Amino acid sequence: MAINIQDTIKGWVNSPPNVYFKLRETLEDPMSSFKEFSAIISNDPSLSARLLKIVNSPFYGLESEVETITHALGFIGTEQLTELVLATSVAGQFSEIPKNLINMDQFWKHSIACGVTAKTIAAWHGERNLESYYLVGMLHDIGSLIIYKKFPEASGKILQRCKEKKEYLHDVERKVFAATHAKVGGELLKGWGLPALLYEPVYFHHQPEKAQEHALITKILHVADSMVDEMKLGCSGEAVANPVKPEILEELGFTELPVEQFSEEITELYEETLAVFL
């Protein structure tokens, strides 16, 4: 049953996280100010509270307490806070996923772990704008939620097959749907008008060698995803950890999957992040 990706994502493309897009518009307006930016966030008290909790957590490790959104903007900047808004608000877009298919608590734990791991590897690699690495980790399996919601019966059979035969989820999806959760997720983020820095890694997180514009972040996400599966931090539906090609590890400066190298750091940051994101 080949699926049409554009038809599959149609409903979700038309209902993006509104606060995020208001912030993007403000960011792109050269006449805008911190005051306008913080006013948009402050209109959503629960979002404001969550953001302040995150900014004051070990996730950022700031030395002094941040008490207002305007204060937060002074510390982490408008671009980073905008990405944080998307990371914290996107979960609300995906409710009513059949419980017999996926445990949503485990799904978001896997997503958060992947974000934390991608951020950790990127920091070790000397990269900047670490929020982007966290965000692609958070969003990398978002296509799975659309597939689970739209095709629950077929999804159930696919997940069962992966479990029984130890097959990779994206391989079975390709055989059944002629599409994968990676492509569905990438097309959704592209449909929302997000930059290629965010949608390309999601689109190619199982085929990182195909990324063209943003190869490094895609390869880091690919490795992070496999590491999180190996570490058994949450679960997005995968029955077995996806393999990483030796040449990709080599390009990133590793001789093997660096679970042992980063395990302690990732576990600590993961637990701290769970406390503020979930």
**Contact yes or no for 229/238 (Cβ under 8 A):** yes
Helix (H/G/I), strand (E/B), else coil: 264: helix
Would the CA dihedral through 138, 141, 147, 148 be positive or negative? negative
Arithmetic mean of pLDDT, 175-198: 93
User: Burial of 29 by CB count in 10 Å (0-12 exposed, 13-18 middle, 19+ buried)?
Assistant: exposed
Candidate from 88-102, 147-161, 167-181 with smallest mean pLDDT? 88-102
Confidence of residue 117 (pLDDT cuts 50, 70, 90): very high
Show the domains of the chain with their CATH numbers: 15-92 (no CATH), 94-278 (1.10.3210.10)
Question: pTM for the whole thing?
Answer: 0.89
pLDDT value at residue 136: 95
* Angle at CA of residue 117, ends 227 and 206, nearest 5°: 55
Tell me how many degrees the CA angle 114-204-169 measures, rounded to the nearest 5.
70
Q: How confident is the model at residue 110 (pLDDT cuts 50, 70, 90)?
A: very high
Alpha-carbon span 54 to 87, nearest angstrom: 11
Token pair 């190996």 is found at: 230
Surface-to-core class of residue 255, CB atoms within 10 Å of its CB (0-12 exposed, 13-18 middle, 19+ buried)? exposed
**Length in residues, the chain:** 278
Instruction: Give the range with max mean pLDDT: 41-45, 47-51, 158-162.
Output: 158-162
pLDDT digits (tens, 9 = 90+) for 125-166: 999 888 899 999 999 999 999 999 999 999 999 999 999 999
Of 151, 155, 148, residue with least CA distance to 95? 148
Please tell me the predicted confidence (pLDDT) of residue 278. Answer: 66
Q: Which residue has the tokens 């019966």?
A: 153
- What are the Cα distances from residue 84, in Å, to 17, 50, 53, 55, 136? 12, 10, 12, 9, 11
Rounded to an integer, the average pLDDT of 88-105 is 81
158-167 exposure pattern, b = at least 16 Cβ within 10 A, e = fewer: bbebbeeeee
Mean pLDDT for the chain?
Answer: 89
- Report pLDDT digits (tens) over 219-245: 999 999 999 999 999 999 999 888 898
- Quote the tokens at residue 174: 């390709």
- According to DSSP H, which parts of the chain are helical? 5-13, 18-28, 34-42, 45-55, 69-76, 78-89, 104-124, 130-139, 142-150, 152-165, 169-177, 181-191, 196-203, 215-231, 246-251, 259-277
Other beta carbons within 10 angstroms of residue 275's beta carbon come to 13
Yes or no: say if 229 and 237 are a contact pair by the CB < 8 Å rule: no
| pLDDT score of 35 | 84
For the chain, percent of residues with pLDDT exceeding 70: 99
- 19, amino acid identity: V
